[in-house]
Structure 1
Amino acid sequence: MFIGYLAVTIFAALITASCAYTYLTGHDYPKAQMRMKRIPLSWGPVLGLILAAGAVGLLAGLAVPLLGLIATAGLQAYFILALFAHLRVGSRKLTGWAVFYLTETAALVLHLAHHGLP
């Protein structure tokens, strides 16, 4: 159980950090996504910081379980809101969203299975 928890948590942190990096460095893909969802480009760095905090929280949760729980719950909220942003503009291109959401969900489920509720 621990190996699965560790592997999924590290994977979730890595993909979340890579997503944060694209937002924080001004990469074209997140800009195109924000334009498509009609989100102001000025929000890019804020979204990147939220994702970066989530990635750090996932890793910190390996040592302090409550931080991991807060990070996974926060990332769940982030990606649920991202789904609403997609649906609001009629976007049905949800493959990327699903990969992130399901990875964060797996991290949350394994966190709770390993540590239980606080």
Structure 2
Amino acid sequence: MFAAYAAVTIVAAVFTGAAAVTYLIDHDYPKAQLDMKRLPRSWGPVLGVLLAAGSLGLLAGFAVPLLGTLAAAGLVAYFVGAFGAHLRVGSRDLVGPAVFLALSVAALTLNIAHHRLS
């Protein structure tokens, strides 16, 4: 169980960390996503910080399990919102948010299962 928990948590942390970096360095892709979803560009850095906090929280969860669980739950909420934002504007490009959401749900599920069994 630990191997699955560790692998999924690390992959989720890397993916969300990479996404956070794109927001925090003011890359063009997040700007285009914000524009497409009709959200203010001023939200970019805030979203980047939320993603970074989630990524770091997942990794910190190896030392403090509750922190990892809360970070995973926060990322699930974040990506439910992202998926909803795509649907709100009629976007058909749902693979990205679906992958991030599924990965976050998997990290949360395995986190809870691992710590419940240990």
Query: Once superposed, which parts of structure 1, at least 4 consecutive aligned residues long, lie more than 2 Å away?
Result: none
User: Percent identical across equivalent pairs?
Assistant: 65
Pair 1:43 & 2:43 matched: yes
* Deviation digits for residues 24-70 of structure 1 (CA, Å, limit 9, x no counterpart): 00111111000000010010000000000000000000110100010
Q: CA RMSD in A?
A: 1.0
In 1: Cα distance, 2:65 partner to 2:33 partner: 33
In 1: Cα distance, 2:101 partner to 2:87 partner: 15
* Deviation digits for residues 57-113 of structure 1 (CA, Å, limit 9, x no counterpart): 000001101000100000000001111111111112101111111111110111011
In 1: Cα distance, 2:51 partner to 2:116 partner: 24
The code of the aligned residue for 1:29 comes to Y
**Gaps (5+ residues) in structure 1?**
none
In 2: Cα distance, 1:116 partner to 1:86 partner: 34
Pair 1:88 & 2:79 matched: no
Q: Which residue of 1 aligns with 2:23?
A: 23
In 2: Cα distance, 1:71 partner to 1:84 partner: 20
Size of the aligned set, in residue pairs, is 117
The code of the aligned residue for 1:102 comes to A
**Gaps (5+ residues) in structure 2?**
none
In 1: Cα distance, 2:116 partner to 2:67 partner: 14
In 2: Cα distance, 1:102 partner to 1:94 partner: 12
Q: Which residue of 2 aligns with 1:104?
A: 104
TM-score calculated relative to the size of structure 2? 0.96
The code of the aligned residue for 2:23 comes to Y
